[in-house]
Structure 1
Amino acid sequence: MENTQVATLAGGCFWCIESAFNSVDGVVSAFSGYAGGHIDNPSYKAVCTGETGHAEVVQVTFDANSISYREILEIFFSLHNPTQLNRQGNDVGTQYRSAVFYHNEDQKAQAEAIIDEITKEEIWPDPVVTEVVAINNYYQAEDYHQDYFKNNPQNQYCSMVVAPKLAKFKKTFAARLKS
């Protein structure tokens, strides 16, 4: 692959976002991690306090010859509610905020454009609160968070929250899924 790019996205709990992106054709990898905070190498426990400033993120490496950054953003915005400030459903705290951590000015412009479109189309009844900020750090989450849904489908959170979101995602984006 000659045209790999990276997207770093925060949309609530990283288990769902990571699982969805790992099933998308053109995605090389998707890893759960932390970004946007003010301490080095934070632990999950520290991030959960909300005091490190990090968001739970998924860092997606993709082949831009197979899938565009725009399509990555479209998938991202379908996987969470971008109007909930510092939360997703029952997950509350700044670590669950909605954010696009852009890696270059083109990513910034595309993120701002899609947010403008979502706003103009009134897809959500409330304003979009997704932050669009430059990536200043990224730390991969602990190994047990990687492929969490795949490895723990019996977990109550996975069966009650992640599984229904992924089922809806797979129905909506069936043409984009890996064979």
Structure 2
Amino acid sequence: MNIAIISGSARPERQSHQVALEVQERLSKLGLSNWLWDIKTAAFPLLDYTFEEHPNPGDSLKTVKANLDQTDAFIIVSPEHNGSYPGALKNAMDYFYKPYVHKVFGIVAVSNGVLGGINAVKNLQHYVIKVNGLLSPEYLITPEVQNLFKEGKINDEKYAHRMDVFLDHFLKLAGALPAGK
């Protein structure tokens, strides 16, 4: 199984990216193949053509498409921006459609506030359904992210436990772990 972790913020000083890196590290420790689709470094232009219709897709689009074709499941790590998920995340994901169909999606939302990005979760759930992805009913909210990490590592055991539970449920649904484990 190959899992894409989508780091959904293109902003400088983004705190959600450290959450995406933590997810990736935990998947790697479990011996699971994964890759990080960093929306910021991919730096896609504003959508004019989808990948399938694009007359001349650039190298960045081609690289992501090749990775998506090898992806079995997705974990989106997104901050909440103005009551939803970032426009840069939607712009990047909208370039593609077929690679998402019938693949399991898990959602991790991140916020500096106490609600942990729950509005981003709600809107991403709608998006995943629209692209015919299979939505994991479990999600992970990350409230007050500025207090959960120190030097890039989780320093809050309760949040670390919640992340482990989320990943366990996601991996069972995606088929990476046996259901009885």
For the superposition of Structure 1 and Structure 2, which TM-score range results when normalised by the shorter chain?
0.3 to 0.5
TM, length-normalised to structure 2: 0.35
TM, length-normalised to structure 1: 0.35
